[in-house]
Amino acid sequence: MSITVIFFLGLLVAIIGVVPPGLLNMTAARISLKEGAGRGIMFSTGVCIVVFIQTYLAAIFARYLSKNQDIVEILQRVAFVIFVLITIYFLVLASKQKPAKKETEIKSKHGRLLHGMLLSALNVFPIPYQAYMTITLVSFGWMNFERLSIVTYVTGAATGTFVTLYFYIFFFDKIKDRNFTSQKSMNLSIGIITGIVALITFINIIREL
């Protein structure tokens, strides 16, 4: 299979996984609204660095994970706990949110890069998601486990993630004057979204018992 096709497969799979409103894309939009698009892009770059690593690891261990379902179940339970904690945090933050004040401290772009890397590292869903997708693509003969194929796919996935995050930054910048883009509303939205994800994960865990 052509490396160009593999690249776009990785890009498409990543877009499908990231395009639903979630913690990372909503946070990128919120940072962009508060601190400017430049810092939102730096945050997104940090996210994509970690996504590259996560997707690479997922591709390397895809064959192993397909034969050891217990590991996937463990990752699923860890993700559930993380998203419950994130949900509680943002819902409590939204309920206690005070009127926004102008920030006198200018946060560095370097800090937002690290922020993106840290928040992306806490999001473990790309690992099982990309592992499943890699296994599926290999089973269809659309890619293989050779190094060039994996690196091409991973690069496409990181690019797809960045494209999606940039779309969120651009989209929310265009509608920034509407009420639901306030900091309190954004925190509430993130809390609700992560709560739904946690609920879906919990249902899947119960169904697999």
Q: How many residues does the chain have?
A: 209
* Predicted confidence (pLDDT) per residue in 85-140, tens digit: 777 876 776 566 555 444 444 456 678 889 989 988 888 778 877 887 887 788 78
Given a contact cutoff of 8 angstroms between Cβ atoms, the answer to whether 52 and 157 are in contact is yes
Which residue in the block uniquely carries the two structure tokens 């730096």? 42
Is 182 a residue whose pLDDT tops 60? no
pLDDT at 75: 62
The segment with the largest mean pLDDT, out of 3-7, 36-40, 85-89, 139-143, is 3-7
Supply the angle between the helices 183-208 and 69-95 in degrees, to the nearest 10. Answer: 150
pLDDT at 72: 60
Tokens encoding 74: 């463990």
DSSP character for 100?
P
DSSP character for 178?
S
Average pLDDT estimate for 22-47: 87
Is 44 a residue whose pLDDT tops 90? yes
Burial of 139 (C-beta count, 10 Å sphere; 0-12/13-18/19+): exposed
Q: 148: which residues sit within 8 A by CB, 6+ positions away?
A: 3
Higher pLDDT, 200 or 165: 165
pLDDT at 190: 65
The segment with the largest mean pLDDT, out of 24-28, 39-43, 81-85, 136-140, is 39-43
pLDDT at 6: 93
pLDDT at 178: 56
Is 184 a residue whose pLDDT tops 70? no
